[in-house]
């Protein structure tokens, strides 16, 4: 029996469980997989005019770790359940998995040393004298900013385990099954919708069911993510990043910059600085 028929039968009360759907989703061979790669290049002493100092500088950044996640597959034999499992994996990576799905600016900065190395080699070939201290400062500043971006992004992830995530997905699958609207019901409730499901080439009822389930899972975790940041879901408000840790905060005043935890630490820090300033004051 296809996915759409199972979902439709459950939503109309013809069957009393969707355990078979869950079993097929979690039994998919497309499991969450981390890929441990490196961003690397090979500094050559001869390319750096024999400068041991330059070689040592670039050698530090010549092999940097980079974690990726396999999220796309080229397989014509994937089932509807495989597509859902892949979406569940990707949602986990985006919402919960540390060090993955980081901002593009982070990955751009991770390649900076490699780009700067070849830029430096080019200048040396042209007879330009390079400033080693300037190169060191630029590299340090770049990777310090990369670490800040990574820290900000990780602080915005939900702090739950994979086992807890699976429990929540199963809970949401139960809700989705209860609320599931078959294609014909959807078309009746959306008479002005431009989508003609029956005449879409290569489109089946299972495609509709996959899209319905995946979008619903995304919506549930988006709401949960917003609430985990301490922001009321049903309340219109503006949000921004905490200037210290990157967590999302609700804008309550024109000058609030920190989340509650960082604001408390900043207050303690400022109190200590003020006390030390008074102790060192000669007046």
Query: Which pLDDT score is estimated for 97?
Result: 92
At what angle are helices 80-95 and 205-228 packed, to 10 degrees?
20
Query: Which pLDDT score is estimated for 201?
Result: 43
Query: Which pLDDT score is estimated for 140?
Result: 97
Lookup: tokens for 78:
């994937």
Lookup: tokens for 77:
């034999």
Q: Where are the beta strands (DSSP E) in the chain?
A: 34-40, 63-69, 239-241, 248-250
Per-residue confidence in pLDDT tens, the chain, 283 aa:
578 777 777 676 667 678 888 999 999 999 999 999 999 999 999 999 999 999 999 999 999 999 988 888 888 889 999 999 999 999 999 999 998 988 899 999 999 999 999 999 999 999 999 999 999 999 999 999 999 999 988 988 888 999 999 999 999 999 998 888 877 777 777 764 555 555 544 456 788 889 889 999 999 998 888 777 666 665 556 667 677 776 667 677 666 777 777 777 777 777 777 776 666 665 5
Measured from the Cβ of residue 47, the count of other Cβ atoms closer than 10 Å reads 19
> How far apart (Å, rounded) are the C-alpha atoms in residues 3 and 187?
19
146 Cβ contact list (under 8 Å, min separation 6): 106, 109, 110, 112
Q: How many helices (H) and strands (E) does the chain have?
A: 11, 4
Query: Which pLDDT score is estimated for 239?
Result: 66
> How far apart (Å, rounded) are the C-alpha atoms in residues 272 and 171?
48
> How far apart (Å, rounded) are the C-alpha atoms in residues 66 and 100?
9
């Amino acid at each position: 029996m296809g996915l759409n028929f199972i979902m439709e039968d459950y939503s109309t009360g013809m069957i009393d469980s969707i355990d078979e759907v869950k079993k097929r989703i979690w039994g998919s061979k497309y499991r969450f997989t981390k890929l441990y790669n490196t961003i690397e290049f090979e500094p050559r002493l001869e390319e750096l005019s024999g400068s041991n100092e330059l070689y040592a500088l670039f050698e530090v950044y010549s092999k940097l770790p980079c974690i990726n996640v396999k999220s796309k597959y080229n397989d014509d034999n994937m089932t509807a359940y495989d597509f859902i499992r892949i979406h569940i994996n990707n949602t986990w990576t985006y919402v919960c998995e540390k060090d993955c799905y980081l901002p593009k600016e982070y990955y751009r900065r991770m390649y900076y040393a490699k780009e700067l190395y070849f830029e430096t080699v080019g200048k040396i070939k042209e007879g330009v004298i390079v400033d080693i201290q300037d190169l060191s400062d630029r590299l340090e500043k770049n990777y310090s900013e990369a670490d800040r971006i990574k820290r900000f992004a990780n602080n915005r992830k939900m702090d739950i385990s994979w086992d807890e995530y699976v429990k929540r997905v199963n809970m949401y699958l139960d809700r989705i099954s209860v609320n599931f609207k078959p294609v014909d019901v959807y078309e009746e409730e959306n008479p002005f919708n431009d989508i003609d499901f029956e005449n879409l080439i290569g489109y089946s009822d299972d495609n509709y069911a996959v899209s319905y389930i995946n979008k619903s899972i995304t919506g549930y975790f988006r709401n949960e993510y917003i609430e985990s940041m301490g922001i009321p879901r049903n309340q219109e408000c503006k949000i921004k990043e905490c200037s210290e840790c990157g967590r999302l905060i609700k804008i309550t005043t024109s000058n609030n910059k920190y989340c509650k935890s960082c604001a408390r630490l900043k207050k303690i820090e400022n109190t200590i600085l003020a006390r030390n300033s008074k102790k060192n004051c000669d007046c």
